[in-house]
Structure 1
Amino acid sequence: LEGLVRALRVFKGEMPAPTYKLTAPAPAANMRMTVTASTAQIRPFVVCAVLRGVNFDQDRYQSFIDLQDKLHQNICRKRTLVAIGTHDLSTLKPPFTYEALPPKDIKFKPLNQDVEVDGHGLMELYAAHQQLKAFLPIIRDSPVYPVIYDSNRVVLSLPPIINGDHSKITLDTKDVFIECTATDLTKANIVLNTMVAMFSEFCTTPFTAEPVEVVYADDYPGNTFTKPKDKIVYPKLETRKMESNVQRLKDHLSLPQLTEIQVRDLLRKMSVPCEVDSKDKNLLHVEVPVTRSDIMHECDLVEDVAIAHGYNNLNLEVPMTFAGASEQPVNHLSDLVRVEMAMAGFIECLN
């Protein structure tokens, strides 16, 4: 809800699109997450962030929970790609470690439970749970389960199932630690940035987050995205720069009457900061914010201009030719394969 309200206010010109920034870590905060080699067997990635001075009330708290549920059901693909954990940082002692251990070696008290269980006990405890039982098969048959500890060996979470009760968030929580474990690093970054963007508004300094350094162990096996001894700072809140041709945007929409300034302002209404080049009026410098991970190509900017201008205000044109169209069988098959590959964790680079 927070993001929707903010986007509408930007669209109506009631506020500028926010700029998200990283703040300097608190003195002696020691905000670091070490990733051990064992995690490569099951859930190899983790990204983190800290929100300082969050002011929760009941509505904001419920929205905070609802957003995580919606992300889990959609971009996280029911926690198979990404699982979100949020914690009261004041109850924990950094630095943290992300490990994968045999189920019998993990012992903790799950969220809102009074008993301590190990990994096997956790599976039994939630086997009939209305919501959580659907996520158990993700790791149930694995020889190791992912787990996050603080420096006192307090369990923060056993992703993608549940958080520990020790660090649960309440209305009195002020500092929030966010961790997202994943099999897809790109999706993990999007999810983390979404959490930060939506709720950093309620921080002591709005639209800011404190970084966390993720360190991969010396014996980490490495992969396409990370390698042993890597030190990566999250969240990555910098905008993504791209260029666009103003005339091409107008041609795609048959709107020759628009000026370059009008095109710029239409994109700004869609929370996309941009500027017309000082020398070439036909060149648009665009900065894609972290909240707009859906923008991947100039055609996405065309769509945004169309939305801001109003679909009902576009010129209607009768096609030069008429033909009955239907989907080719090979295209239908391609779509089925595409969905299965995406759900297996692959990313489509060329379509």
Structure 2
Amino acid sequence: MLIKEQGDQAGTGVSEEILYRIDIPANRYDLLCLEGLVNGILVFQGKKEPPAYRLAKYEDIYSLHLTPATAQIRPYAVAAILKGVSFTKESYNSFIDLQDKLHQNICRKRSLVAIGTHDLDTIHGPFVYDALPPSEIKFRALNQSKEMTAPELMELYSTHAQLKQYLGIIRDSPVYPVIKDKNGVVISMPPIINGDHSKITLDTKNVFIECTATDLTKAIIVLDTIVCMFSEYCSSKYEVQQCKVFGPDGTYELYPQLRYRDELINVDKANNYIGIRENGNNLAALLSRMCLTTTHEDSTLRVRVPPTRHDVIHACDLYEDIAIAYGYNRIERRPCEVATTGGQVPLNKVTEQLRQECAHAGFTEALTFTLCSREDIASKLGVKIEAVPAVHISNPKTLEFQVVRTLLLPGLLKTLAANKKMPLPLKLFEISDVVLKDDKAETGARNERRLCAIYCGKAAGFQYVHGLLDRVMALLRHPWDKQTGYYLRQCDDPGYFPGRCAEVVLRGQAIGKVGVVHPDALAAFDLSNPCSAVEINIEPLL
């Protein structure tokens, strides 16, 4: 956390108020509101102990029941109750502001989690979380004067400055999520808008908080953060009432969980990682200042991680907090104790050198998309997609990006099609990776570095790209020889003109192809001028 003081110079401004700009890490959700920030500063200064959050016994009347239909759109929900809340205008604004910041941060603009807060005294439990066809949803939305159906609300908010960005989350779904109370009163249509009937005000004393989500872990974090930050305004300070949340199968879980857990770290290891020399008691004090109550036992630190610190996942997070509390500027600079010799990866070094030489040969470098359509690498080149070892995208957003490219040639052909107005001849090349499906690889696929060059002119003979191939082989010291070097071997490929295609063979292994592109392939890519191309795998050349 970085704090910078900003204020007017004497005599240059009208305000004497001092403002502080505070930079907060993205994973410190407990510092996104004034309550959490002030609490963290006071604990850090030793002026108070970290709060001890407690769970009050649940009441069955305030349970939340999920229907099977919710699995179609937002399958998870959690809930909690804050009782005896005393809001002031400042704390109320802070409460709303925290929700907005969480929505933009961990909730990913409500796509993962949507938060709803309601005046518990205006509604009656148990509550039902359902998913209904839009035409069956009708209620008075927040700050609206009349009831409207869900399609009417979607139309109304399509021009709303803030809410229009969330409509796409559910707009195309056959059902919309909705939460009702015992009497059928709609209190929320997440993730868009709450009902006006249950809106919270400065006079609200009991708050019902629900979070619907597509990610249960994120929902739990969001709920824990909100109730921990504002339970200090409850009549029973730092106490939160749980709710029973019933799943579609009838089983239930209690939320919020407000789980505390213990982590053990070694004193010597912490000192070595950070580069300091402090005894165990001092390290325990440093962690305690970060709201992580810690005790020292022999050479071990026992750290109590509270429900407000979901950012603490691993021991390295605890080392980081020790370093922050100690002060990065106080850590002594020391030279690296490991002697290493850095160097460029040979494949990348050769790639850069070949780029220079291809450019010297008169070819212009192109950089094409790694993703392409199935037609680009299959039907347009005269083969079936089933015969191509392509890695498919499970949920492609557009028809242009369905698979990871297995060839560089389609990308260069599309580049030529987009530059048909340029004077001929056009000479392009690209040296990049393709991805091939491989069951023997750990990930099921492997990368392969390739060089592809294409010549497009009024006459595209074999010799234009064959010359570049010979130049590349000469630079890499591979002679024209069947035993120790490379040679060309005639082959058939539907993407190339019959009788004008050859394999590039290096020491008995085919590493690519060279030839005149088939007229059908050119027509599929909307090209009318003849083209010749070469594409080889450069990894065996090293």
Q: TM-score range by the shorter chain?
A: 0.7 to 0.9
Residue segments in structure 1 that go unaligned for 5+ positions in a row? 218-227, 330-340, 345-351
> What does the per-residue CA deviation read over 1:204-257, in whole Å, with 9 as the maximum and x for residues that have no partner?
01111000000113xxxxxxxxxx22210000112022211111111111222x
Contact kept? 2:58, 2:244, Cα under 8 Å: no
Cα gap change, 1:167/1:326 in structure 2, threshold over 3 Å: closer, same or farther?
farther
Structure 2 matches for 1:1-351, cutoff 5 A? 1-25=34-58, 30-217=61-248, 228-256=249-277, 258-277=278-297, 281-320=298-337
Q: Which structure ranks higher in relative contact order (CA pairs < 8 Å, sequence separation ≥ 6)?
A: 1
Q: CA RMSD in A?
A: 2.2
> What does the per-residue CA deviation read over 1:260-281, in whole Å, with 9 as the maximum and x for residues that have no partner?
111111000000012223xxx1
Aligned counterparts of 1:282 and 1:105: Cα–Cα separation in 2: 64
Aligned counterparts of 1:323 and 1:107: Cα–Cα separation in 2: 69
* Counterpart AA for 1:233: L
Task: Give the percent of matched residue pairs that are identical in Structure 1 and Structure 2.
Answer: 51
Cα gap change, 1:285/1:141 in structure 2, threshold over 3 Å: closer, same or farther?
same
After TM superposition, give the deviation of residue 318 of structure 1 in Å: 2.3
Aligned counterparts of 1:44 and 1:325: Cα–Cα separation in 2: 50
SS in structure 1 opposite 2:158? coil
Aligned counterparts of 1:326 and 1:97: Cα–Cα separation in 2: 60
- Is the radius of gyration larger for structure 1 or structure 2? 2
SS in structure 1 opposite 2:61? coil
Cα gap change, 1:118/1:326 in structure 2, threshold over 3 Å: closer, same or farther?
farther
* Counterpart AA for 2:293: P
Aligned counterparts of 2:192 and 2:185: Cα–Cα separation in 1: 17
* Counterpart AA for 1:315: E
SS in structure 2 opposite 1:160? coil
SS in structure 1 opposite 2:159? coil
> What does the per-residue CA deviation read over 1:119-168, in whole Å, with 9 as the maximum and x for residues that have no partner?
11111110100000000000000000000000000111000001000000
Aligned counterparts of 1:42 and 1:203: Cα–Cα separation in 2: 34
SS in structure 1 opposite 2:173? coil
Q: TM-score, normalised by structure 1?
A: 0.86
* Counterpart AA for 2:312: I
Contact kept? 2:167, 2:192, Cα under 8 Å: yes
Aligned counterparts of 2:61 and 2:296: Cα–Cα separation in 1: 42
Aligned counterparts of 2:255 and 2:302: Cα–Cα separation in 1: 26
Aligned counterparts of 2:180 and 2:266: Cα–Cα separation in 1: 49
Aligned counterparts of 1:264 and 1:190: Cα–Cα separation in 2: 26
> What does the per-residue CA deviation read over 1:155-207, in whole Å, with 9 as the maximum and x for residues that have no partner?
11000001000000000000000000000000000000000011001000111
Equivalenced residue count is: 317
Aligned counterparts of 1:324 and 1:155: Cα–Cα separation in 2: 63
Structure 1: which 4+ aligned runs deviate by more than 6 Å? Answer: 322-329
After TM superposition, give the deviation of residue 325 of structure 1 in Å: 9.0
Q: TM-score, normalised by structure 2?
A: 0.56
Residue segments in structure 2 that go unaligned for 5+ positions in a row? 1-33, 349-393, 398-542
SS in structure 1 opposite 2:285? helix
After TM superposition, give the deviation of residue 326 of structure 1 in Å: 9.4
After TM superposition, give the deviation of residue 324 of structure 1 in Å: 7.2
Contact kept? 2:43, 2:49, Cα under 8 Å: yes
Aligned counterparts of 1:273 and 1:41: Cα–Cα separation in 2: 42
* Counterpart AA for 2:267: V
After TM superposition, give the deviation of residue 282 of structure 1 in Å: 1.0
SS in structure 2 opposite 1:25? coil
More strand by share: 2
